[in-house]
């Protein structure tokens, strides 16, 4: 038979009594570190002791107990069952609220105890010490130098673009001259000298086209060596074929170098457009100036002595004696001296026109340099001003005086 008699309020349950059950005695586990977290904090213990000695210690522990005491004092054996049930529900709700409040109290006590130990970190003392004036000036100078310094690669690419530009223009102009179109224009233009040995314009156009095509294709010397004229004789002598092979080597080398320069220039232009605003313009502007100087210098030398200029040009690229021929040889009959003069003029004109257009399109105006247009004053002297001062104001973006509607600034 099981004993269900409730334990009196003044006596502890035997199952929970440490004297009856030594395993429940907390004094036995005082040295166990695993239970240290269960020990109350000193601040919380002090708060509990202070609260226990206060005036609230004589009152009931919770609102539910106070409600029960009031109900016991006012009620009797003949109370209404409905009212009794309502009071029980209210008492249970108040007890639940008290338990939640008691559950939150330790965390509040813990936070208050933490607040007593937390301190705002003071600023580092090293930040309050100003370095010597010499050190400050040195650092400022280094910062200014780093701000003024420009990357090396963009400047190198701009110089490279300025050097490649005249060479590319010369190669393209030479390629335009070594074409059947230029031959047709030359052979059919008025005033071009005829052949005293029997070639008419059609013969020159046919045989000259073979010679020009040989310079730009990958055929060997047999391409010209096996050509024959109307009488069945070889059109070009061995010396002429050998010279044309040398010319072809020079032309292919120039065309290959020009193609490589064009490729490098395209890469440089793409890089400068993305990394350096205005870098392409500055490179092409410098290249156009170099081109103009080069063309004007070479044109002056050619005008002063064409024959000497022509001879020195051949000495640079060909061996002595390999480029001189008789008047009756096919190369002289197809390409007389006037042909080379006209070719030089066309090359110089093409390069000169392109360089001038590039110079105009890349001229460093204020708008292209990213500067605001200069404002003109009401007087000529005020409009002149100091150019450097205006540039500084334009760069800073500051106006002389704000204008709103029809209000004008007053000169004092």
- Domain contains 299: yes
Q: How confident is the model at residue 20 (pLDDT cuts 50, 70, 90)?
A: low
Residue 383, pLDDT score = 47
- Domain contains 4: no
Angle between the 42-53 and 81-117 helix axes, to the nearest 10 degrees? 130
- Domain contains 377: no
How many folded domains does the chain comprise? 1
Tell me the pLDDT tens digit for each residue of 128-143: 567 788 888 888 888 8
- Domain contains 3: no
- Residue 234 has φ and ψ, to the nearest 5°, of -65, 135
Question: Region 339-352: what's the mean pLDDT?
Answer: 95
Domain carrying residue 252: 150-361
Taking CA atoms, 129 is separated from 139, 140, 317, in Å, by 16, 18, 72
Q: Which residues pair with 228 in a beta bridge?
A: 234
In terms of pLDDT, which residue wins out, 227 or 115?
227
Tell me the pLDDT tens digit for each residue of 149-165: 778 899 999 999 999 99
- Domain contains 268: yes
- Domain contains 64: no
User: What's the whole-model pTM score?
Assistant: 0.57
Helix (H) or strand (E) holding 309: helix 306-317
Q: How confident is the model at residue 95 (pLDDT cuts 50, 70, 90)?
A: low
Residue 347, pLDDT score = 96
Question: Region 204-209: what's the mean pLDDT?
Answer: 94
- Domain contains 221: yes
Sequence-ordered alpha helix ranges (H) in 149-237: 152-177, 180-188, 201-216, 222-225
- Domain contains 282: yes
d(CA 218, CA 353): 32
């Amino acid at each position: 038979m099981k004993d269900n008699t409730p334990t009196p309020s003044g006596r502890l349950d035997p199952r929970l009594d440490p004297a009856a059950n030594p395993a429940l005695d907390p004094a036995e586990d005082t040295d166990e570190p695993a239970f240290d977290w269960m020990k109350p904090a000193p601040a919380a213990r002090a708060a509990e002791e202070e609260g226990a000695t206060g005036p609230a210690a004589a009152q009931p522990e919770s609102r539910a107990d106070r409600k029960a005491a009031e109900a016991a004092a006012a009620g009797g054996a003949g109370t209404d069952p409905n009212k009794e049930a309502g009071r029980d529900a209210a008492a249970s709700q108040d007890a639940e609220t008290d338990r939640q409040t008691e559950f939150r109290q330790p965390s509040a006590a813990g936070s208050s105890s933490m607040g007593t130990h937390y301190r705002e970190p003071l600023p580092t003392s090293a930040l309050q010490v100003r370095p010597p004036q010499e050190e400050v000036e040195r650092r400022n100078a280094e910062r200014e130098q780093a701000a003024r310094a420009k990357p090396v690669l963009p400047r190198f690419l701009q110089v490279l673009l300025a050097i490649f530009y005249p060479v590319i223009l010369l190669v393209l102009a030479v390629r335009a001259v070594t074409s059947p179109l230029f031959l047709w224009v030359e052979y059919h233009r008025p005033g071009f000298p005829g052949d005293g040995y029997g070639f008419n314009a059609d013969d020159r156009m046919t045989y000259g086209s073979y010679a020009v095509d040989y310079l730009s294709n990958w055929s060997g010397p047999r391409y010209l060596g096996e050509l024959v004229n109307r009488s069945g004789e070889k059109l070009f002598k061995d010396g002429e074929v050998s010279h044309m092979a040398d010319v072809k080597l020079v032309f292919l080398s120039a065309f290959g170098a020009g193609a490589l320069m064009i490729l490098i220039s395209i890469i440089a232009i793409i890089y400068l457009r993305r990394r350096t605003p205005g870098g392409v313009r500055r490179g092409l502007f410098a290249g156009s100036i170099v081109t103009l100087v080069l063309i004007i210098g070479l044109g002056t030398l050619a005008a002063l002595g064409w024959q000497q200029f022509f001879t020195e040009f051949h000495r640079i690229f060909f061996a002595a004696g390999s480029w001189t021929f008789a008047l009756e040889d096919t190369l002289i009959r197809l390409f007389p001296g006037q042909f080379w003069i006209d070719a030089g003029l066309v090359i110089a004109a093409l390069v000169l026109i392109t360089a001038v257009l590039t110079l105009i399109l890349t001229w460093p105006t204020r708008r292209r340099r990213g500067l605001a247009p200069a404002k003109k004053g009401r007087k000529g002297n005020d409009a002149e001003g100091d150019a450097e001062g205006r540039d500084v104001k334009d760069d800073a973006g500051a106006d002389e005086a704000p204008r709103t509607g029809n209000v004008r600034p007053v000169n004092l």
